[in-house]
Chains A and B, each alone.
Chain A
């Protein structure tokens, strides 16, 4: 990495952390990730004495670490940070000031992508590890907690950590295409949270489209029991591929449109 590119990374770092919306989104991520997993774990902890032997045998403690109702907020916040990072520049006109300072547009886009992905990966790792650790500590009191060495536990933690940079980069790609803040957030939210509902998972073909969407891939990798009734369940390698293809395509798309379109 050249010293000059490091300067661009530092500039994007300053820009990211000088906006209130970034702190709001980070707070939303921290609160929703940890509180919802604590709530899920406490509920099972409370109800545990009443569970039958079969129910205890089938109990999936990892699901309490990553309950979908809480992580939907995490995805929303991560996608929003990504969308705002670029759409906020176009919508305000800041992009013209940025590009007069740095005419190399691909370098501007690349610096934003690197800073966004790195920050979101760190935040995602902290959120995933904290959610897993706290929820399993609560369940351990009933002898029902998983350890990170258990089958699928590490996979769920890693997938959840990577979920944030993936959602953020998808938001970034949408933001670069749409260039207005509110529509960018709406489109990102639709793509991440609503699109999976549009596909019938009992049909082989629509199920395969569903499985190729980012959030269903995450659900598959964390072993969310709600996705198990899916007859056409995705493969684990296929779901990891979704985690690679979506953010890479989104970042490349963003670099192309930032380079080509007039600000």
Chain B
């Protein structure tokens, strides 16, 4: 399951010397199969059961790669295979045309940074693993059936305005917007109702550069297809944009509207493919995660309802689960699914949470014999005490009173939200009940029914504290109301005022 083996790569080389140098640099980290001809490499690609993690071309003449049978075969037969070209120097024209034919994914000039190259291969190898079990990464994006939009960013507004008008007149398939700086482009994208389909930006502009803009959009708007343009033949910028920015094309200036027409149409097709793949991944992820969530809910109720409800004297476990259901967390993505499906997370969650709850229930039983006086002063005293740094509220600490356990739980939850007992409002509702509420919403960034990547101590502590707050409140004859919002909740706790005769 884990990739403990080295990533497997195929290497096509022209000169023995280049091969030796490459092996010296990467032999320790990559498992290299080297081929001297395209035919031999193609034959090996056809034979192997699983394609390698990357295909390297060590080309002495990068221009000849434009009609490389090997790269063409790799592109058509193994669309997911990472294709990396390495050469002493790569002319911009060659890079542009290789990119246009989608023959390469990365391109490096010698001398290369081995750490960087290796990182690209390892990342791709890791990503590949994820496709085998779960779908690739996805984030929610609002889909729209509107006409797609193309945004052209250039600091010469006169030229772009004219071009935009020309393009608008030539077709009805897409809208064209213009921005005269990267900053303005970001503003436009932010305020757009839907997702931007394509962005084409000039590299050299005052303020933020084109490459930076594309880097940023790659993160924030992964479905937007990115095109870089420049009137200057800066091959370094182009290489960075390919390797880091993952650009779709590099378009040289000056442009012609007819040229751009077909470029944009291709780019929009690409955007649609990306966006719909994303959407279907999203719904698949959601479905898969819903299954996991149901399973967790069922197990939690089955394992803990009995002891918890008995200890509280009320059907508290269901109330607790219902409260969690009202607190939405982040959407599930592949990392969560992979953690749930490939690691022991799901089992550990049920087991460790169960254990901790049982420990607390044992303490509660011991505490039940202690006399608890419930009034404003004693609650304040208990809250302050549970917040002292040396106060030990671990499972093996001696049993305090139930009220103190309630305050412990509150303190844990308050601390996780960056708050303290000072944010609590205490008031006397009628003659015999005390109302405790928090002036700010409390935070719960993840919970038992949320997508998780790992279990941590603060996470488990918070879950146990929330459940214990329910248990102790009901045990003291009170009532707890949780109203959830995005990753947060408001709580109102009502406790009967009395010298409570417990047990």
Do the two chains bind? Answer: no
Give the interface of A toward B (CB within 8 A): none
Give the interface of B toward A (CB within 8 A): none
